[in-house]
Structure formats: structure tokens, C-alpha cells
Structure 1
Amino acid sequence: MGRKNRQIKTPRKESSDAVLVSKAMDLFGQGAVTQAISLLSGEVNRGGNQAKLWYALGYIYQGAGRDEDALHSYKEALAAEPSLAEAWNNLGLLYAKRGRRAEAENAFKQALQHSAGMHDASINLGRLLVEQGRAKEAVTIYQTALTSSDKPAQLCYALAVAYRAVNRPGQAIVYLEEALSLAPDYSPGHNLMGVVLMDMGMAEEALSHFHKAIEITPDDDGPRTNLAGLLQSLGRFQEAYEQAREAVALAPEKPLIHSNLLFLMNYQEALSRDEIYAEQRRWNERHALPVLQKSVRPETELTRDKKLRIGYVSPDFRFHPVCFFITPILSGFDRSHFEVFCYSNVSRPDQQTEKMKEWATGWRDICGVPDEEVAQWIRDDRIDILVDLAGHSGDNRLLVFAHKAAPVQITFLGNPDGTGMDAMDYRITDSWCDPVGLTECFHAEKLLRLPGNFFCYAPPSPAPDIGPLPCRQNGYVTFGSFNNFSKISENLLGIWSEIMQGVPESRLVFQAKPLTDKGKVLELKRFFESRGVAGDRILAKGNTSISEHLKLVTQVDIALDSFPWNGHTTTCHTLWMGVPVVSMAGERGISRMGLSILGGLGLERFVACNVSDYVKTAVDLSGNPGVLENFRKNIRSEILNSSWGNSLTYNETLENLFRDVWIKYCVEHQG
């Protein structure tokens, strides 16, 4: 959501030493840091207002990036005057920067205790709490601060951040509107307004606020990154890619901004696999290798048959598509031979998070914790195999892996591609997604192919029963698309219009967040009308709950998979509700997910190898209601007996793989 500008309280110039402090601050402002420090250093401990002198010296040290000296100076200032709120506030910022969250929280609270109306300390304390997933406490802090007579835009903005974090977008908008009424050119306010509106599916309104933020602060990477995400969700892939590229150019030192670019590159049909892999390696060289080269390798007991400690790192230990695949692993692992530790980078925990906590041997919240500290926790926990569940997707913690905190490191599940990292030893996949000899050259990691599927699926519970075949009641076939709308290109829509033309009177149901926007729905209908398909044959719904989504799926006869990026969670849900999915396989892992899912069920006949075959498969299937009814009757039992539906068999297979790579590590590292 853009740069986080901490509120640093500047020294006031009204003490008996005002002239000296003023001169030092002028020197500092002119870039004469050494002279400013020398001037003040010569006066501290010589009488005068020690607190103000030490505070001014701390401020200059802090501004010059000499944090240790700044810490010492602020502590001296507080020793002389314990009620100096400005020193407590800035001390808190230094602690927060170093990940010393408890000390930072105490410092900010001390500042507020001595100066109850100090907005800077309120903002900094609230931000710290939000970063730790304690947004409800932050709301209380900010609401208290707002009772004062003046209400700066920054405080209203901070409260909006907290309300978004507790999933109250309406309240967030109220305070963003107030912030922007106080400061119409406040770029962070426009940027966050765009994010909240994007969350709510109000695409056009969000676009205008992102563009306004970029107009005000063209050198800020935050609005461009968010704009790229919105454009991608609307299927405007080339524009999204260009904005993501520009964001990386503005902030080449930020690994998550660069990861965002890598994620968006998967939507660019014009980009070759070589180009994507080259960018992964650039990410590695720029962000990960400098860390890896300084890393401290963990000491470990090289015993082949010991009880292995597996660590999972993820931002998605919550209700999220990944939860349907990590749930069987966490709930069903063999506790006699393995211990499982979860390192949760979840900013908004939910009920699913609490369930996962109960299953894990150990749980650590790492949201807001520096990579170095997380890596040390992993060493202290004596993790043998550390598993990344995010890849280059949002809020990943790949730089934790750059510290090489565990002997064996694996990427898995969250993103169907490699990381490009030298520090990542393996990637778990299967022979459907990554046939032998096809994709090894595009991986820095060694590929580990499970003998069945690389994933195991836990169906939503409860899920509606599978109903009767809709076309028997409707008199027409209903196709459906439930994939993330960002996977649906204009080219794909054109192919679907061919299917619609081949099946007269058929309908096509879409369900996706951007379709909350009436303008986007109208645009979608007009596209099909331009291809000879009446607009009233296109039905669109925005975001719904999981239960409403599953009910909608039951109203569909045949689902159409997206490509080149196939669905995964959506495809599994759709099959579970008795609806066959027509997919198309390509050469990359992301374009072979449908093949993996359907192949694991022996349903390769639903997977096309080219566009004409894809259209023919969908059209032919629509003319066989008996096949569709039989599919509905048998699919759930077939899933439960498949390699990706039988969690007992899957966990045994996965744990055997973990044991094998551990034994290999022991063999390679024993003298």
C-alpha cells in the first residue's frame, strides 16, 4: 500500500540551549552531519538542558542512519528527563526498525503516557499493532487520538488502515474520505482508497484513485504496484506488466515488489519461459544471493531415522485457496515420526488459522518480524526440512530461505513455478505438471515428482449435495467459469464465444470479484455480443461466500478451465460439486494444472492439447447428458479414492519423500 513513512518528532528549539540546537539542526539540514554532531557532542555533559541536547543529538544520529548512537543518545535524554515524549517516540521507531517489537510498543506507550495527545506516537503504535495482526487494538488507539481537537489527515489514514485490517471496508472509506477532505493531495490516502475500493470490486473508482496517487507522487512504487494488481484482475495484462516493471525500476531494492512482477509475468502469453526464468534469477542475484553468502548454516544431527522436524512458511494459514491443500497435511501427518512447525505470516488470522494452530506441533507468528530473526527462530527450533508455501506470490517470506536456516529447503504448493533461488534445494511437483525433461532447465531447484499428484485436496465442509443435472430442467446447457478473472484474457473469451456458438441457446455463467462492477459486466456482455452471442446468454455474479459459490456451481452443466494459467482450487471445488471441467494443457507448470487434476482421476479425455480440440471437447460433452449425469453420480467417490483425494495415502507418500531427501542429505554431509 505504498511507503510507510514513520512519524519522527523533530526537536523543538525553545530551551535555554535553543541557539546551539538550532545551529546544529541547520548544519544537519545542509548535509554537514559531522559538524552538527561535533557541535552537540562537545556540549552534552557540560551543563545546560541535558535532555534537549541529547535528544537533538539522537535525532541527528537517527537521520544519519547511525542507529546505535541514536539509541544511546535517546536513552541519555530520557535518563535526564523521563517524561520527554519525543525521545520515547523516536526510541520506539528505532526498536521497531530492529524488530524489537515489545520494546517499541513500550516506548510508544511511554510517549503517550507523557503526552496523551501526541499523534505521532499514536500513529506509530497503531502501525506496529497492525503489523502484528492486532488491528483491533490499533483501532482503539486511533479512536482515542481522534478525540483531540485537531485531526490530521495522517491519523485518519492510519485509522482507515486499521479498519481495513479488521475487514471493515465501509469504516475505512469513511476515514479515508475525511483524510482526503483535510488533505486532497495526500497520496497515501488516494492509494489506500484505491486498495479498499479494489477489495470491494469497485474497479473504476479504484483506478481513478491509483492514477491520482501516481500523479501526486510519480516516484512512489506503491500505487503503481497496486494499480498493476488491479489491471491484472481486469484482464489488462500488458498494462499491468508495464506498471509492475515501472514499480521495480522505482524500487529495485524491494524484493516483494520484484516478486509481484514475477507473479504477473505468468499472465503474459508473449513472454517465453526463458524470459521468466531469467527474471527469477535476477531476483535471486539482487535480493537473495547477498543474504545467502553471509548466512550461518545450522548445526544438525545427521541421524537418518530420527524424528524429523518439518517447518512450513506461509502467508496463507487462513481461509485461502492454499488452505484446501495444506489442511490434509497439517491434520494428518504421522506424529510418531514427524513434528510440524508453522511459521505464519498471516496479518489477518481467522477461524481457519485457529484450527491449523491446533494441528501443528509448534506455531510462530512471523508477521512483521525481520527475516534474520525468523531465520534464527528456525535454527533454534532445529528444523530439518523447511518448506515454502508461497513462491513469488503475495506476502511471501522467501528471504527467510535465503538465510539457509534449515539443512533442506523446499518450495511447494503456493505458486506452480520455481523461485530461481540458489538457497532453495527442491521443488515438489508431479509428472503431469512437469514431465521428465520438459522443465528442469527452467528451475534453480531440483524437481521432486510425487508418484501421484503433487497436492491433496480437502473438500469444503459442509458442501451442498450434488443436485440434478441442470440442462434436464432448463432445456439448455449452462457452461461456467469460476476462475480468478485475472486468468481470463480476451483471447480466451473469444474461444468461449466459439463454444457458445456451437451450442445454440446455451448460457455461460461467470463468478468473480471484478464482476461486482456493473460496468465490467456490461463490458463482458458487449464483448460476446460483438462475437454473435446475445448478451442475455451471459450471466455474471461478483464475490460470494464459499457456500453461495458452491450452490452456484451446482447450477452449471460443464465448467470451462482458463489457460494458459489453469485453475487449481476452483477446479477441485467444481469437480467436487459434480461438474466436469474442460481444460487445455500447455508446456509450463501453470498450464498443466488441469491435466494434473483430471489425470489423477483418469479423466485425461477432458484435457485438450490445442484450441480446436478444446472447443470440440466442450461442444461434444454438451450433447451427452447421460455422460454428465453419470459423472455427477460417481465423481465424489472417485475423488476420495484418487491420488489427490485420499489423504492417508498422500501423506504417507509425502512423508516418504521427506525421509528420502533427508537421508540423501545425511549421506552427502556425513564424514
Structure 2
Amino acid sequence: MTDIETADALQLAGNIDAAADAYRRVLAADQDNAAAWHGLGAARLRAGACGAASDALLRAVRLRPDETGAWGQLAEALFKLGDVERAIDAYRRAAADASMRPVAEENVAIIIPGSASAGNAAVLAARRAWGRHLAAGVSPVERPQRPPSGGKLRIGYVSAFFDKANWMKPVYGVINRHDRDRLEVHLVSLGGDPSASAGYREHDDDVIWQVGSCDDEKVARLLAAAGIDVLVDLNAYSAPKWLRLFLRRPAPAQIGWFNSFATSGLDCFDGIVGDDTVIPAAEEGFYAERVMRVRGTYLAFEVFHAVPDVAPPPCSRNQGRLTFGALASAYKLNDLTLDIWARILRSAPTSRLLIRAPTLAEPSNRDHLRARLAARGVAGERVDLEGGAPHFDFLQSYDRIDIALDTFPYNGGTTTTEALWQGVPVLTYAGDRWAARTSTSLLRAAGLDVWVASDEEDLLAKASALAHDPATPACLAALRAGMRARLAASAACDTAGLCLALEQIYRQFRV
């Protein structure tokens, strides 16, 4: 067995660290061994070391540009680091191999709303292209005669994440308020199940479907037999394989809500729920679905899980020096976002930046991000990079942040609601697509319009003014002290109103 075969065997056996060491020994003798660079990159990627993986995989594709497998793995590493534009390019290079094309097109369809260079038309085109692969060989199931329901409308909610308390704040805010005298509620669980700890309030008449181990055709036949009237997708592209369930048309009406922040690109959805901020009328042509809007925000939320108390702003004990921060997923830290943040820090030379994300627990991922910031003139001593933590402790990070910075064009959703609930305002601007207006929707609903800039230059001006204004610490202290009361009284937390609006939408599809 050759040295490279030994390394490959170790990796195949799951002995990732030993495999990486074996690949390094090969490379010590031959720096131009493309297979060893590919193997090392794959091993580091499996270990979550995306920074090290991207370096190795780049060496591999430079030595062997036709190695489509390496391009695919490079794309995955780059995306997880926030280098979205190059990730999309790498996936498209991988798609040159017909056997890899469906997976590559799927991944482009998933990540393209976060590409600064891809507007609404490109998002629709990418999702249409992948949708054609997804729909191949998929046929609608037969819907038998609907069983009696005592005049109630049967609503089915489909999610792989019913157990995620921090994500499901809008969902359970609505589901818990449904009128069971008029609606029969079905929760179709494809992953973790609904629970009190996640925010769900049990109801005797609700039906919980635990079907994550079934295939999409079986689930579709079960739902069709149950006579679901309106099936609501809460996953969108966070669980893309389950979009096949909706292609099978188990319900006469199918709607996307909650985790949709762009079109599905699929014709099997009768509607998609947003609001006036995230989907202006002029952009409806970029949606495969009928656009349906609620008043206020489509993400009105309610907090069901334990959270830390709101703390005073750190600038009040730090001589007025601001700490900007972001507790965003690292894949949102693209070039546009880092460009904006670097400009803010350069305009406010006494300020600091705290970035926290689970992937930053790994040293090469931190090094990669530090290098990207340094290339933009941000000194390392001004930035704190931290990994994940248990969620309560993670939220306590907001005690050390004065102002949260949004990500562009892929805004925070859950991240924005959590920052606000911890008393920390989020600075954003209204962008060019749904994903770039999610925070704007929430902030306007909360009456915090002053934190929404008109564009990038206005955002920079707002951040700089706040950093230089001696009144900022007192203003932030007052805002934080009253934030939860403000939110609770606003449309941002009006889950009762959102519930009524969704029920009105559902009733439009009564058959």
C-alpha cells in the first residue's frame, strides 16, 4: 500500500487526524501531489477546520483544475467561512461533472440569496434550475376523499426543527394561539419534536406526526389520507430534500412561511407569506409563488425559553467607547459584510468589534477571518473572535455589545430578534432583496426605524455619529432599560395579530 493509499484508508475509517498527518508526510516529500492536498483538505473539512481545508483544497485545484470533487469540497469550506461568491464559483466548477451537477446546483440554490452579486433574478433562476432536478420522477400523490373534520380547517405545519426553542419563537407564538374551535392543527415533525421546552403548548386536539424516518412519498400519502387542507412549509431551503414532499402535492393548498426569505423557485407552492417591507409589489415577478402579505412583520415573535436579564451597555463603564458586535453564523460573513464593518471601525477608531459564532472555536477558522479583516485595515487587537456556547451563555455575550451590526445581504432573523430582546439595537439598511430586509421588517415593526439606514453610506454615517456622540451611552442605557416593554407592546411581538392574519390567509384556500 502506498503512502497516499494509507492516508486514504485512514480517512475512510474515520481516523481523521491520523489521515491528515499521513497526507502531510506525503506532502513533505512532494509539494506538488494534488491527491495529497485534496485528501488533506477533505480531512480538515471533516474536522471543521474550514480555513485549513480551503488552503489545502485551493492547492489541489490549482495543481489539478479538472478535479471536480476537490472543487465541491472547496466550495463547502469557502461557504462555511463566509466566502460566498467564491463558493458559488467553485460549486459551478464542480457542476462540470454531470454526476455532481445536481448536488452542486442544490447547494448554489441554497446559498445564493446570500450572494451580494446575485440579485432577485439570479436567485429565481438558480432555484428554478435546481427545482427541475428535484422534480424529476416525482409525481403527485392521489388525494382520497377528505375525512370529516366537524367543519374545521385542517392546517399542517411541516418542520425539521420543532425542537429548536431559539429558532421557533414566531412559529410557536402563532401555533399556540390558533383557534382550535375553527382549526385542526397538525404538526408534521421531520426532526426534533415539539415540546414545552421548545415553546409548544400541548393541546388535546393537536396531531403530532413523527415521520422524520419516512421517505417523502410515504409522508405525502399519509397527509393526503388525513385530508390536510393547507400545508405550511416552515423549512424552505434549511431542509431542501423535504421540498420533494410538496412536489407530491399532498394538500390542495401549500404555502411557505417563516423560513422563506426568497422564492422557492417551485410551482408546487400556492403562496408565500411575507410583508410589505420584505417583498415590495415591484418584486413579485421574481417569485414562483403568489405573494401574500401580513401587516407589521411576518416574523412577529414570542420568547418562551430562559434568557439572561438585560444588562447596561458596556460603553457606560468603558469611557464611552463603543463595542460593536455580531453573533451571526459565520457563513454570513461575506466580503460585503466585512467591508462595511471595516469601514465602521475605521470611522470610529476607539471602537471594538466582537464576533461570535460556533465555527470560530476552531483556530484556522479564526485565523482566516482575522486575515480577511486585517486585509481591510482592521488590527487584530481591536477584534474579539469567539466560538459557540450553551445558548443562555451565548446570549450573555450581548452584555458586552453596545450595538449589533447586521450582515449583508443575508440579514439576521433569529439573530436580530435575540439581540433586540437582550436590549441591543441592530444597525442595518434596507437592501435589494427579501433576505436583505429581514432586520428592517423587525425594526420597523418595533418602532425602531432610526436604526434602519437608507443605504450603506447612511449606515456608515449613523455608526460613526453614534461612536462620536458623547450622549450615546445614556441613550443606549435608556433604550436597553425599556426595550422589552417596547417590543412587547409593538407589532414585532404581536403574535396574536400574526396568528389572525395567517388564519385569514388559510381560509382563502378552504375547499
**Normalized against structure 1, the TM-score is what?**
0.65
Aligned residues: 489
Query: For residues 211 and 615 of structure 1, do their structure 2 counterparts lie closer, same or farther at Cα, with a shift above 3 Å needed?
Result: closer
Query: For residues 581 and 278 of structure 1, do their structure 2 counterparts lie closer, same or farther at Cα, with a shift above 3 Å needed?
Result: same
- 1:230 matched to 2:67? The reply is no
Query: For residues 155 and 533 of structure 1, do their structure 2 counterparts lie closer, same or farther at Cα, with a shift above 3 Å needed?
Result: closer
Instruction: Identify the match of residue 465 of structure 1 among 288, 291, 309.
Output: 309
Which sections of structure 2, spanning at least 5 residues, go unmatched? 1-7, 24-34
Q: State the secondary structure of the residue aligned to 1:313.
A: strand
Query: For residues 481 and 282 of structure 1, do their structure 2 counterparts lie closer, same or farther at Cα, with a shift above 3 Å needed?
Result: same
Q: Deviations over 1:58-113 (max 9, x none)?
A: xxxxxxxxxxxxxxxxxxxxxxxxxxxxxxxxxxxxxxxxxxxxxxxxxxxxxxxx
1:296 aligned partner: 142
| Distance in 2, Cα, partners of 1:367 & 1:643 | 34
| Distance in 2, Cα, partners of 1:530 & 1:213 | 24
Q: Point out the more displaced range, 620-629 or 447-456.
A: 620-629
Q: State the secondary structure of the residue aligned to 1:386.
A: strand
Note the 1:605-620 alignment, pairs <5 A.
605-620=450-465
| Distance in 2, Cα, partners of 1:310 & 1:254 | 36
Instruction: Identify the match of residue 261 of structure 1 among 89, 108, 117.
Output: 108
| Distance in 2, Cα, partners of 1:575 & 1:455 | 13
1:324 and 1:457 in contact (8 A); partners too: yes
Q: Deviations over 1:197-222 (max 9, x none)?
A: 12xxx223444787899999x8886x
1:245 aligned partner: 92
Q: State the secondary structure of the residue aligned to 2:154.
A: strand
Instruction: Identify the match of residue 646 of structure 1 among 481, 494, 501.
Output: 494
2:133 aligned partner: 286
2:165 and 2:198 in contact (8 A); partners too: no
- 1:432 matched to 2:277? The reply is yes
Q: Give the letter for the 2:506 counterpart.
A: F
Query: For residues 289 and 443 of structure 1, do their structure 2 counterparts lie closer, same or farther at Cα, with a shift above 3 Å needed?
Result: farther
| Distance in 2, Cα, partners of 1:612 & 1:188 | 42
1:582 aligned partner: 427
| Distance in 1, Cα, partners of 2:352 & 2:392 | 22
Query: For residues 628 and 220 of structure 1, do their structure 2 counterparts lie closer, same or farther at Cα, with a shift above 3 Å needed?
Result: same
Q: State the secondary structure of the residue aligned to 2:184.
A: strand
Query: For residues 493 and 449 of structure 1, do their structure 2 counterparts lie closer, same or farther at Cα, with a shift above 3 Å needed?
Result: same
Measure how far apart 1:357 and its partner are.
9.4
| Distance in 2, Cα, partners of 1:499 & 1:334 | 47
Q: Point out the more displaced range, 457-466 or 475-484.
A: 457-466
Instruction: Identify the match of residue 237 of structure 2 among 392, 396, 407.
Output: 392
2:47 aligned partner: 197
Note the 1:508-547 alignment, pairs <5 A.
508-547=353-392
Q: State the secondary structure of the residue aligned to 2:186.
A: strand
Which sections of structure 1, spanning at least 5 residues, go unmatched? 1-151, 161-171, 667-671
Q: What's the C-alpha RMSD, in Å, of the aligned pairs?
A: 3.7
2:176 and 2:201 in contact (8 A); partners too: no
Q: Give the letter for the 1:468 counterpart.
A: P
2:51 and 2:81 in contact (8 A); partners too: no
1:94 aligned partner: none
Measure how far apart 1:256 and its partner are.
6.0
Query: For residues 179 and 639 of structure 1, do their structure 2 counterparts lie closer, same or farther at Cα, with a shift above 3 Å needed?
Result: farther
Q: State the secondary structure of the residue aligned to 2:292.
A: strand
Query: For residues 377 and 206 of structure 1, do their structure 2 counterparts lie closer, same or farther at Cα, with a shift above 3 Å needed?
Result: farther
2:322 aligned partner: 477
Q: Which has the higher contact order (CA 8 A, sep 6+)?
A: 2
| Distance in 2, Cα, partners of 1:247 & 1:526 | 27
Q: State the secondary structure of the residue aligned to 1:644.
A: helix
Q: Deviations over 1:17-47 (max 9, x none)?
A: xxxxxxxxxxxxxxxxxxxxxxxxxxxxxxx
| Distance in 2, Cα, partners of 1:186 & 1:374 | 43
- 1:414 matched to 2:256? The reply is no
1:22 aligned partner: none
Query: For residues 309 and 500 of structure 1, do their structure 2 counterparts lie closer, same or farther at Cα, with a shift above 3 Å needed?
Result: same
Q: Give the letter for the 1:296 counterpart.
A: E
Measure how far apart 1:419 and its partner are.
0.9
Q: Give the letter for the 1:399 counterpart.
A: R
Measure how far apart 1:527 and its partner are.
4.7
Q: Give the letter for the 2:292 counterpart.
A: L
Query: For residues 344 and 354 of structure 1, do their structure 2 counterparts lie closer, same or farther at Cα, with a shift above 3 Å needed?
Result: same
Query: For residues 313 and 255 of structure 1, do their structure 2 counterparts lie closer, same or farther at Cα, with a shift above 3 Å needed?
Result: farther
1:451 aligned partner: 295
Q: Hey, which of these two has a bigger chunk of helix by percent?
A: 1
Measure how far apart 1:192 and its partner are.
7.7
Measure how far apart 1:614 and its partner are.
0.4
Q: State the secondary structure of the residue aligned to 1:397.
A: helix
Instruction: Identify the match of residue 187 of structure 2 among 342, 345, 348.
Output: 342
Q: Work out the percentage of aligned pairs sharing the same amino acid.
A: 28
| Distance in 2, Cα, partners of 1:196 & 1:411 | 33
Q: State the secondary structure of the residue aligned to 1:315.
A: strand
2:171 aligned partner: 326
Q: State the secondary structure of the residue aligned to 1:567.
A: coil
Larger Rg: 1
Instruction: Identify the match of residue 658 of structure 1 among 488, 506, 510.
Output: 506
1:625 aligned partner: 473
Measure how far apart 1:350 and its partner are.
9.5
Q: Deviations over 1:600-649 (max 9, x none)?
A: 01212211122110011112233222221121121101111222313333
- 1:316 matched to 2:161? The reply is yes
**Normalized against structure 2, the TM-score is what?**
0.84
| Distance in 1, Cα, partners of 2:138 & 2:116 | 33
1:248 and 1:261 in contact (8 A); partners too: no
| Distance in 2, Cα, partners of 1:317 & 1:577 | 23
| Distance in 1, Cα, partners of 2:241 & 2:166 | 15
Query: For residues 531 and 374 of structure 1, do their structure 2 counterparts lie closer, same or farther at Cα, with a shift above 3 Å needed?
Result: closer
Query: For residues 534 and 188 of structure 1, do their structure 2 counterparts lie closer, same or farther at Cα, with a shift above 3 Å needed?
Result: closer
Measure how far apart 1:406 and its partner are.
0.2
